[in-house]
Amino acid sequence: MYTDDEIYQGLGETVRAIAPTHAQWVSVDVELSEQGDHAKLLYDFQVSGGEVQWFMPETARVDHDIRVLLVKLRSFFAANNLFENGKPWKRCLITLWLDSGKFSADFKYD
Give the ranges where 33-81 is alpha helix by DSSP (H). 61-79
Q: In this structure, what DSSP letter does residue 20 have? A: P
Task: Please count the other Cβ atoms lying within 10 Å of the Cβ belonging to residue 81.
Answer: 7
Per-residue pLDDT at 86 = 86
- Neighbour-count burial for 5-20, b at 16+ CB within 10 Å, e otherwise: eebbebbbebbeebbe
pLDDT tens track for 34-80: 999 999 999 999 999 899 999 999 999 999 999 999 999 999 999 99
Judge if pTM exceeds 0.75: yes
In 3-state terms, what secondary structure has residue 65? helix
The domain made up of 4-108 has a fold known as 3.30.500
Average pLDDT over residues 77-84: 93
